[in-house]
Structure 1
Amino acid sequence: MAEYLIVLNKDEDTISFINVETSKVEKTIETDFNPHEVIVTPDGTKTYVTCSLGNKVNIINNESFEIEKTLEHEDFNFPHGLGIAGEKLYLASTYSEKVFIIDLKTDEIEKVFPTYQKYSHMVAVTPDEKTAYIPNIGSHNITVVNTESEKVVNHFPVGKGPEGVAVHPNGKELYVANQDDNNLFIIDTETLEVLYKRRIGTCPIRVVFSPDGKYALIPNRESGDLSIIETAHELKGNKRPWEIKRIRVGVWPGGTVFNSDGSKAFVANNKTNDVSVINMNTLEEESRIKAGVHPDGIAYLKK
């Protein structure tokens, strides 16, 4: 099986399909205007790309690496974050402040509803796929969506400018990166209590967990580094989330993804036009892979 990185080059409206083994771009295709976020279906057959300034979603066939369909909607206004729950794709549209539910089989938009919050930007789905969390950058809070009823059930406050958000694989903790406060909140998913606060780098914008949940990686855009959080760091008999290392990567790191076994992570560096390869055994950057202009959204595909 071959491994690929699917890298969105925002400022040239292209996608690079990079062979992980060779570190070479095998194919580049054009997208609609300003591709931002990307997600691969669990079966690996399709990739969805939000073209935020073009107000479109490109759907890619992963056999041919070609766009097979494009979705448009009158309420797409900077479509951005993506998450999958069951047979449904959840999409957050930042400036229309709405959530779209798309059927993965038909690729049709089934439902649209507002968050009533400001700048709804990303989507994080729980491991059991029953809940979706949507950070609202302008409201400094998180919207909670029940994916079974497909309705908003709650909002709760976090720090300023929340953007990066992810649920630990154990389903018990929600990690929220607050870009305006330069910190990380670890929140109990049952009580919504903030369990821990951690100061990290400048302008943290993503949170990505290793497959086993041991590490959370947080790219800090303005300080040009990657915070490595050990989620159950043991010290004096206590286990707690702790930043055990911060490593330099490229300029303006953004999209981050792990390979399937968690041995490597990949960080798209927006302003150096490359991807940092992180060895998760040594916790060091081991190489860089060239990409297009302003790479940001990134996904991993094994086929």
Structure 2
Amino acid sequence: MMRFAVPVLCVMAITACAPGGDAASIGEVQSREAHPTLFVANKRGNTLSKVDLETGEEVLRLDSCTNPHELATSPDRKHVALACYGGTTVDVFQTGDLTKVASLELGENARPHGIVWHPNTAIFVTAEGRKSVFRITGPLSDTPEFAEFRTNQDGSHMLAVSPDARTVWTTDLGSKTVTRVNLDDALDLRTVTVGEEPEGISLAPDGSALWVSARGSNQAIELDPTTMAVRNTIDTGAFPLRLSIRPQGDVAVTSDLVDGGLTVIDLKTAKVVRSIEVSGKAEAQQRFQVTILWSDDGTRIYVAETASNTVAEVDYASGTVLRRLPTGEGGDGLAILP
């Protein structure tokens, strides 16, 4: 495998004001920035929503790009990056008023999907149509640097990044594999077959374990992040589309689309310890839950319900659905500011 830099094709600075344009409306949006905030990519409406978690209100919704999917917030909390799955760019918006400040072009047929804005300030994103992963260094600078790393697998969809930003792992839906990409040596590429249709992926906070959910075989799989050897395989609920590890590192949760629920896995014992009903099987198709996201303190789980245009807020301790937050059409990707 060869690592190569991709020329910067497009970085677009935009200085437009928020819709409405008057100082009062802009001030109102900015004044809410102290509140905990949820951002939602609405893949059917081609919009980006901002939800005030204190009031539960959607305070802003703007046009974004075609078929937007995953989201990631910047380390300084001032921006949110959006993977434009129906196109070829990663678009960056201010968290205050959702003004778009950059459009980062990845090249022909990119179809970016999974995205991480690393604490070292680089953005990592899968380019499913190119069978690759991009690292974008200095994404908001005048001259961002692009490096593309091939996975050579079909449907490289979601990703996880190591704490030192030197390794990326992808789930490859089409190839039914998980791939480890060494960013220091692109020849050091390791791919393993894992379950049926692996999609969800999450790395333990200390980097000690990689967890994957295989939606086609209703399993969660623990891998050794270095050797890619399978350590544990666990049965989950039906169609575990996503897997997310709690920020505290004690449990992983899968988003079980067909069951309308969550499976909670203790990471020390590698055993299922409980299930949480979100919509339940009776309403699963009417809700169609997809992406899940933890609050930073690990007390809440946010569950995107694409068909009902809502996000369920779940209290982790009790397993209670506290409320359903309104979004745009087809809410999917989620990002949060505490």
- TM-score, normalising length: structure 2: 0.82
Higher-strand-fraction structure: 1
Aligned residue identity for 1:78: R
Q: Which residue, 124, 149, 152 being the options, matches 1:90?
A: 124
**How far apart, in 2, do the equivalents of 1:76 and 1:241 lie?**
40
* Separation in structure 2 between the aligned mates of residue 161 and residue 131 of structure 1, nearest angstrom: 22
Of the structure 1 ranges 147-156 and 260-269, higher mean CA displacement relative to structure 2 is found in 147-156
CA drift of 1:150 comes to 6.0
Is residue 2:283 matched to residue 1:247?
Answer: no
Q: Distance in 2 between matches of 1:261 and 1:173?
A: 21
> Size of the alignment, in residue pairs?
296
Which runs of structure 2 are paired with 1:184-223 in the superposition (5 Å)? 184-223=220-259
The structure whose Rg is larger is: 2
> Hey, what does 1:293 align to over in structure 2?
329
Instruction: Say if 1:230 and 1:244, in contact at 8 Å, map to a contact too.
Output: no
Runs of 4+ residues over 6 Å off in structure 1: none
The answer to whether the 8 Å contact 1:255/1:296 transfers is yes
Give the conservation status (yes or no) of the 8 Å contact 2:124–2:134: yes
Task: Go from structure 1 to structure 2 and tell me whether the alpha carbon gap of 1:127 and 1:101 turns closer, same or farther (over 3 Å shift).
Answer: closer
What is the CA-CA distance between 1:206 and the residue it aligns to?
A: 1.1
> Which blocks of at least 5 consecutive residues in structure 1 are unaligned?
233-238
Return the offset for 1:266: 0.6
Q: Please tell me whether the aligned partners of residues 275 and 290 of structure 1 are also in contact (alpha carbons under 8 angstroms).
A: yes
Percent identity, aligned pairs only, is: 25
Q: Render the CA deviation track for 1:212-240: whole Å, top value 9, x for unaligned.
A: 012212112233222222323xxxxxx33
Please tell me whether the aligned partners of residues 149 and 181 of structure 2 are also in contact (alpha carbons under 8 angstroms): no
Aligned position for 2:18: none
1:148, CA displacement in angstroms?
4.0
| Alignment partners' CA distance in 2, 1:83 and 1:163 | 15
1-side partners of 2:130 and 2:273: how far apart?
35
Instruction: Tell me which residue corresponds to 2:62.
Output: 29
Partner Cα distance (1:227, 1:15) in 2:
28
Match of 2:306 among 262, 270, 273: 270
Length-normalised TM-score, structure 1 = 0.91
**Corresponding position of 2:16:** none
- Give 1:110's aligned residue: 146
Q: Which amino acid aligns with 2:316?
A: M
Query: Higher helix share goes to which structure?
Result: 2
